Amino acid sequence: MAHEAAIQRAKRAFEGRCVFTGLTGVDGMHLYPAGPYPEYADDPYNIFTGVRYVHSVTGRACFDKRADGSERPVGERIWMLRNLTHDDMRETVRLRLDLFLVSIEALTAETEKKDYGRPIDEKVLRGGEGDWWSSALASVGDEAHGDVSSSIRGKADHGDDQRLVVAPFG
């Protein structure tokens, strides 16, 4: 699989947990997509971890796509990583993000890398109609409660698997 070594390093850095939900069973999410930015594709600092429905899903807002189905610009992805990550993951996410951005800004002056604006579909990401957290609720079961515009609040025991439960954003 392409970029597998870098993805595995990123998974270890985030202890195999989604940076947005804290759940296990994650994919590697490229901050700078591998297609248009092959020079960053194998850099583990360009890869963050996310469960499938947060990473890339058809017909919904996610890390890769806006609610309207268009590609999410890198600046919006950066904003999401700075502002929507799980409380337990935020410090590590921001540190790795900042290290990566400083390293690439030393190499290039592309304006997109400095445009960290709010996503145009922020309302959807935060829990508006068709929000991306609905799948999270379905995946953790009845233990989840509160508004689906959620980050994570506590753990629910699922046999041997400890998963985090979805709870409202502050």
pTM above 0.85, yes or no: no
Q: What is the pLDDT of residue 116?
A: 60
- Residue extents of the structural domains in the chain: 4-142
- Spatial neighbors of 108 by CB under 8 A, at least 6 apart, are none
% of the chain exceeding 70 in pLDDT: 65
Q: Does the pLDDT at position 147 exceed 70?
A: no
Q: Give residue-wise pLDDT tens across range 86-129.
A: 999 999 999 999 999 988 876 665 544 455 667 777 777 666 55
Q: Give residue-wise pLDDT tens across range 17-54.
A: 999 999 999 999 999 999 999 999 999 999 999 998 88
Q: What is the pLDDT of residue 162?
A: 34
Question: CA-based Rg of the chain, rounded to a whole angstrom?
Answer: 15
**Of 32-36, 82-86, 153-157, the least confident:** 153-157
Going by pLDDT thresholds of 50, 70 and 90, the confidence category of residue 158 is very low
Residue 24, CA distances (Å) to 2, 31, 71, 138 in order: 21, 19, 25, 15
**Strand-strand pairing, 47-50 and 27-30:** antiparallel
Beta-bridge mates of residue 29: 48
Average model confidence (pLDDT) across the chain = 74
